[in-house]
Amino acid sequence: GTSTGTVAPRHLPADLPDRIRHYVGGEHVDSVDGTTFEVLDPVSNETYLHAAAGKAADVDRAVAAARRAFEDGPWPRLLPRERSRVLHRVADIVEERDARLAELESFDSGLPITQALGQARRAAENFRFFADLVVAQTDDAFKVPGRQLNYVNRKPIGVAGLITPWNTPFMLESWKLGPALATGNTVVLKPAEFTPLSASLWAGIFEEAGVPAGVFNLVHGLGEEAGDALVRHPDVPLISFTGESRTGQLIFANAAPHLKGLSMELGGKSPAVVFADADLDAAVDATIFGVFSLNGERCTAGSRILVQREVYDEFVERYAAHAHRVVVGLPHDPATEVGALVHPEHHAKVMGYIEIGRSEGRLVAGGGRPEGFPTGNYVAPTVFVDVPPDARIFQEEIFGPVVAITPFDTDEEALALANGVRYGLAAYVWTNDLRRAHTFAQSLDAGMVWLNSNNVRDLRTPFGGVKASGLGHEGGYRSIDFYTHQQAVHVTL
Binding site for ligand NAD (CB under 6 A): 163-167, 172, 190, 192-193, 223-224, 227-228, 231, 242-244, 247, 250-251, 265-268, 299, 397, 399, 425, 465, 470
| Cα dihedral 42, 244, 237, 78 in deg (nearest 10) | 50
In whole angstroms, give the CA distance from residue 284 to residue 380. 18
Burial zone of 363 (CB within 10 Å; 0-12 exposed, 13-18 middle, 19+ buried): middle
CB of 203 to ligand NAD, least distance (A): 18
- Which are the contacts of 359, defined by CB distance < 8 A and separation ≥ 6? none
In whole angstroms, give the CA distance from residue 259 to residue 238. 9
Q: Which is nearer to ligand NAD, 73 or 243 (CB)?
A: 243
3-class state of residue 44 by DSSP: coil
Q: Which is nearer to ligand NAD, 255 or 284 (CB)?
A: 255
Q: Which is nearer to ligand NAD, 231 or 414 (CB)?
A: 231
CB of 167 to ligand NAD, least distance (A): 5
Helix (H) / strand (E) containing 179: helix 169-182
CB of 373 to ligand NAD, least distance (A): 22
CB of 297 to ligand NAD, least distance (A): 7
In whole angstroms, give the CA distance from residue 283 to residue 452. 7
Q: Which is nearer to ligand NAD, 84 or 119 (CB)?
A: 119
3-class state of residue 194 by DSSP: coil
Catalytic residue list contains 265: yes
- Name the DSSP class of 455: S
Please give the sequence-ordered ranges of beta strands (E in DSSP) within 121-229, or none if there are none.
141-144, 148-156, 159-163, 186-190, 216-218
CB of 265 to ligand NAD, least distance (A): 3
Strand partners, 152: 488
CB of 399 to ligand NAD, least distance (A): 5
Q: Which is nearer to ligand NAD, 76 or 173 (CB)?
A: 173
Q: Which is nearer to ligand NAD, 37 or 312 (CB)?
A: 37
In whole angstroms, give the CA distance from residue 167 to residue 298. 7
**Catalytic residue (choose from 125, 193, 297, 299):** 299
Q: Which is nearer to ligand NAD, 159 or 425 (CB)?
A: 425
CB of 52 to ligand NAD, least distance (A): 14
**Catalytic residue (choose from 193, 225, 265, 397):** 265
Phi first, then psi: what are they for 50, rounded to 5°? -115, 125
Catalytic residue list contains 345: no
CA distances for 53 relative to 141, 200, 218, 462, angstroms: 48, 13, 11, 34
In whole angstroms, give the CA distance from residue 179 to residue 188. 14
- Cβ–Cβ < 8 Å for 52, 191: no
In whole angstroms, give the CA distance from residue 196 to residue 49. 9
- Furthest C-alpha separation in the chain: 85
Among all residues, which ones are annotated catalytic?
265, 299
